[in-house]
Amino acid sequence: MNKSHNGEAPRIIISGGGTGGHIFPAVSIANAIKELRPDAEILFVGAEGRMEMQRVPDAGYKIIGLPVAGFDRKRLWKNFAVIIKLLRSQLKARRILKEFHPQVAVGVGGYASGPTLKVAGMMGVPTLIQEQNSYAGVTNKLLAQKACKICVAYDGMEKFFPADKIIMTGNPVRQNLLANKQSREAAVTSFGFNPEKKTILILGGSLGARTINQTLIAALDAIKAYGDIQFIWQTGKIYIQQVKDAITTTTGEAVRNPRISAIPNLYVTDFIKDMASAYAAADLVISRAGAGSISEFCLLNKPVILVPSPNVAEDHQTKNALALVDKEAAIYVKDADAMKHLIPVALETVADAQKLKTLSENIAKLALPDSATIIAKEVLKLIDKL
């Protein structure tokens, strides 16, 4: 069957973004829909000036941006302009839906999904929400009232959503991560390191993580002293110059390449393009606790130390981390304690083969494969009901 019930190709809007944690799953869902229905027409709706406006076209899909911004929960007086942008975004979303005529709208979280799915619901377009976190955000709880289906990645989500709408799907991850068959030895070598030594991968999400970066900066001398342990450090674009300046101050070496000759067990970059190799190389990962990243760690069986960001709505990263810690599937270090404890805990953990094995086995039990395909099938079911 190549056409929908009325003879037309499926028309689907996918809305959301803001960070890689929202964009990568959205693209994975789109790809899964195209695999099932190659004739499907998919339009993304994102937020102007955000990462999705570049990453989605790079993946081969059209995107339209809304002039939407997030609420400032600490400085409430700044939200008047945000409200105006939200109203403008709803008007633009209405125009987009009228012109594109979607048969279903999918929300993956992020600034743009709120106005897009709200307007879709008001216009009678079936909607599906993909809630990534173990603690639902305010926007998705509101959107759930009119949503047809709610795809979740954690047990117990009936606390937030109507139980009859919930489908346990897990979070989609980047397909290239699962397709990678590279050995650990080849992956470690690709970073210029010794496969016989342990390797720690440090991530802060696609935008970077201030506390993790500052902790690593403060530990540069310790990193150099632990030459038997290798570090692959993704700083994020916001922090790369600060990190390079700190390395120059510590070593007297200007940083021109990812490999630091004065600290030969350190590889530094703002963004790792080949994340599949980075994961394959890693014996231990240090990361924020974004839902998308956690799903990747589960599917790839990666031992991880989670340092949840304190700067996210409803503190959902801490709740994500504790959901794993409760199952002995991750180690948790509070953001406020990272400067003192993160590096000692990481060095102790990576040297403990039994601990790494236990963490790997336990996190693997939480993996939910084929999430993108399951969600894609639910999207197409909504169209078939029309």
User: 276 with 202, same domain?
Assistant: yes
> Can you list the alpha helix ranges (DSSP code H) found in 219-281?
220-225, 240-251, 275-281
Query: In this structure, are residues 363 and 303 in contact, taking their beta carbons and an 8 Å threshold?
Result: yes
The residue written with tokens 């310790």 in the block is: 222
Query: With bands split at pLDDT 50, 70 and 90, how would you rate the model's confidence at 74?
Result: low
21 is in an annotated binding site: yes
User: 210 with 329, same domain?
Assistant: yes
pLDDT confidence of residue 177: 83
Whether 232 is in a domain gets the answer: yes
User: 43 with 187, same domain?
Assistant: no
- Does 314 score more than 80 pLDDT? no
Per-residue DSSP letter, 313: G
- Does 378 score more than 90 pLDDT? yes
Number of domains in the chain: 2
CA distance 28 to 172: 6
Whether 3 is in a domain gets the answer: no
Contacts of 7 (CB under 8 A, 6+ apart): none
Query: With bands split at pLDDT 50, 70 and 90, how would you rate the model's confidence at 7?
Result: low
Query: With bands split at pLDDT 50, 70 and 90, how would you rate the model's confidence at 1?
Result: very low
- Does 329 score more than 70 pLDDT? yes
CA-based radius of gyration for the chain: 21
Per-residue DSSP letter, 107: E
Contacts of 347 (CB under 8 A, 6+ apart): 226, 229
User: 143 with 191, same domain?
Assistant: no
> Can you list the alpha helix ranges (DSSP code H) found in 271-352?
275-281, 291-300, 316-325, 338-350
144-147 CB contacts, 8 Å cutoff, 24+ apart? 146/121, 147/117, 147/121
User: 81 with 213, same domain?
Assistant: no
- Selected residue with higher pLDDT from 208 and 371: 371
- Selected residue with higher pLDDT from 197 and 252: 197
User: 103 with 220, same domain?
Assistant: no
Closest CA relative to residue 151, chosen from 131, 136, 133, 134:
131
pLDDT in tens, 211-238: 999 999 999 999 999 999 999 999 998 9
pLDDT confidence of residue 2: 39
Query: With bands split at pLDDT 50, 70 and 90, how would you rate the model's confidence at 144?
Result: very high
Share of the chain above pLDDT 70, in %: 95
Average pLDDT (298-310) is 96
User: 167 with 184, same domain?
Assistant: no
- Does 75 score more than 70 pLDDT? no
272 is in an annotated binding site: yes
User: 182 with 117, same domain?
Assistant: no
Whether 326 is in a domain gets the answer: yes
Range of the domain at 229: 176-364
133 is in an annotated binding site: yes
The residue written with tokens 């959107």 in the block is: 143
CA distance 48 to 46: 7
Q: At 153, which CATH number?
A: 3.40.50.2000
User: 136 with 183, same domain?
Assistant: no
90 is in an annotated binding site: no
User: 94 with 191, same domain?
Assistant: no
301 is in an annotated binding site: no
Q: What are phi and psi of 47, to 5 degrees?
A: -110, 130
- Does 6 score more than 80 pLDDT? no
User: 307 with 239, same domain?
Assistant: yes
What SS3 state is found at 19? coil
Whether 4 is in a domain gets the answer: no
20 is in an annotated binding site: yes
Give me 241's structure tokens: 């110059």
User: 207 with 254, same domain?
Assistant: yes
362 is in an annotated binding site: no
